[in-house]
Amino acid sequence: MPELPEVEALSAFLDDQLVGRTVARVFPLAVSALKTYAPPLTDLEGRTVEAVGRHGKFLDITAGGLHLVVHLARAGWLRWRENLPAEPPRPGGKGPLALRLTLAEPAGAGFDLTEAGTQKRLAVYCVHDPAEVPGIARLGPDPLGPDFTPEVFAALLRGERRRLKGVLRDQGVIAGVGNAYSDEVLHAARMSPYKLAASLSDEEAARLYEALGATLREAVERSRGLAAGLLKAEKKSGLRVHGRAGQACPVCGDTVREVSFSDSALQYCPTCQTGGKLLADRRMSRLLK
Ligand SMILES: [Zn+2]
């Protein structure tokens, strides 16, 4: 799933490609992806793109006062195309194509939104104001925003009874961090994903704040200037523990471990994060009984 750094890079890439150009056609192909009906997507046609931005993990393309907002979800992606065929794509196909947007000029340029797999979660909205999108309205502060100070972060953690892993990826608390970067931030901060947020000392809250900013900024920096097609590989290559169970921790050499849940998994380094202790994995302990 693309998270803040990848969506930030996609947004910068699209800003270069789209701003000042006119939308020719918008083809919604996956009915399930379209979450709004008024104004219709066709209202974007003939409008000139003014800006491309990001709200958490949402991409926001502004054209003539309308916003095309996209949430790529777990398996969605954006493919930039220079040579799209002139004829419209066939709707209702079984393929991964969810939406196509073409530009008036240069002819053939535009992008496809695609979604792999059978779980269709990719979401597209056409609105006058991004705050009309419920997922954007409930977003917490952006961790790279100028107002996100150590004090703001400490206040978010205070009184928070949940574990750090859950708090960091809750979009209502902090915008843009998901399963991958929450693993990375906790590894960089040398903290257990199971630690209760409210139990952090002032020193620990400051350390987690530093790790959060540094991890996201590094990832944004690595992704900057990359074409849309290269972002996925770049995200993977920059991760230290996420998705690396069984491999050596690049900091201490211990084996990266995993805890599995019904629909996700977290990875961590015992030596760096839990004082060498293995976190309970219900699936594993069932197997060992
Ligand atoms: Zn380690």
- CA of residue 200 to ligand 1 center, whole Å: 21
Strand bridging mode 58-63 / 76-81: unpaired
Residue 157, Cβ density class (10 Å: 0-12 exposed, 13-18 middle, ≥19 buried):
buried
- CA of residue 153 to ligand 1 center, whole Å: 25
- CA of residue 46 to ligand 1 center, whole Å: 53
Structural Rg of the chain based on CA atoms:
20
- CA of residue 30 to ligand 1 center, whole Å: 43
**pLDDT for residue 289 is more than 60:** no
Report the chain's mean pLDDT, rounded to a whole number: 92
- CA of residue 249 to ligand 1 center, whole Å: 5
- CA of residue 236 to ligand 1 center, whole Å: 18
Is residue 82 within 8 Å of residue 109, measured between CB atoms? yes
The predicted pLDDT at position 86 comes to 80
Q: Which SS3 state, helix, strand or coil, does residue 220 take?
A: helix
Segments of the chain assigned E as strands: 23-28, 49-55, 58-63, 66-71, 76-81, 97-103, 110-115, 123-127, 257-260, 265-268
Q: State the Cα–Cα distance between residues 54 and 201, nearest whole angstrom.
A: 32
Query: For 247-254, what is the mean pLDDT?
Result: 97
Q: State the Cα–Cα distance between residues 148 and 186, nearest whole angstrom.
A: 18
The candidate with the shortest Cα–Cα distance to 267, out of 187, 169, 166, is: 187
> What separation in angstroms does the CA of 224 have from each of 4, 186, 209, 210, 231?
12, 23, 22, 21, 9
Model confidence pLDDT, tens digit, residues 35-44: 999 999 999 9
Q: State the Cα–Cα distance between residues 198 and 157, nearest whole angstrom.
A: 6
Q: How much of the chain exceeds pLDDT 90, in percent?
A: 80
The predicted pLDDT at position 43 comes to 97
Strand bridging mode 110-115 / 49-55: unpaired
pTM of whole model > 0.95?
no
- CA of residue 250 to ligand 1 center, whole Å: 7
- CA of residue 244 to ligand 1 center, whole Å: 12
- CA of residue 175 to ligand 1 center, whole Å: 27
- CA of residue 188 to ligand 1 center, whole Å: 9
Buried b (16+ CB within 10 A) or exposed e, 110-140: bbbbbbeeeebebbbbbbeebeebebbeebb
Q: Report residue 118's pLDDT band, with 50, 70 and 90 as the boundaries.
A: confident
Q: State the Cα–Cα distance between residues 284 and 188, nearest whole angstrom.
A: 26
- CA of residue 253 to ligand 1 center, whole Å: 6
The predicted pLDDT at position 92 comes to 62
Q: State the Cα–Cα distance between residues 195 and 182, nearest whole angstrom.
A: 13
The candidate with the shortest Cα–Cα distance to 96, out of 81, 113, 111, is: 113
- CA of residue 180 to ligand 1 center, whole Å: 16
Q: Report residue 120's pLDDT band, with 50, 70 and 90 as the boundaries.
A: confident
Q: Report residue 73's pLDDT band, with 50, 70 and 90 as the boundaries.
A: very high
Model confidence pLDDT, tens digit, residues 157-198: 998 999 999 999 999 999 999 999 999 999 999 999 999 999
- CA of residue 277 to ligand 1 center, whole Å: 12
Q: How many CB atoms lie within 10 A of CB 211?
A: 18
Helices vs. strands in the chain: H and E counts, helices first:
9, 10
- CA of residue 23 to ligand 1 center, whole Å: 49
In this structure, what token pair is assigned to residue 47? 């409008």
Residue 132, CB-side half-sphere exposure with 13 Å CA sphere: 17
Q: How many CB atoms lie within 10 A of CB 206?
A: 15
